[in-house]
Amino acid sequence: MTLAERQYVVFKLESEEYGIDIMNVREITAHEVPIRIPNIPNYIDGVINIRGSVVPVINLKRRINTSYYDIRERIKYEKY
């Protein structure tokens, strides 16, 4: 498959755009408020339950060490 034929999930953090090959994305779901867990890295907002699996919610803004501000309204959480 050529680069032109690939599809990407694209999102923006501040002025930077990022893309993930759609073949590496399992699913995109509606936003859920994560359950906070004490003593976890600051880039993890908490966990959510997806069909019985506990899934961490990673805040990409904090994970890649850019200046933090609340981005929940601008992009959805990436779910692993």
Residue 12: predicted pLDDT: 85
pTM assigned to the model? 0.64
Confidence of residue 13 (pLDDT cuts 50, 70, 90): confident
Mean pLDDT of the chain: 80
For residues 15 and 56, the answer to whether their CB atoms sit within 8 Å is no
76 pLDDT exceeds 60?
A: no
Question: What's the CATH number for 3-79?
Answer: 2.40.50
Cα angle 12, 16, 20 (rounded to 5 degrees) comes to: 60
Q: What percent of the chain has pLDDT over 90?
A: 39
68 pLDDT exceeds 50?
A: no
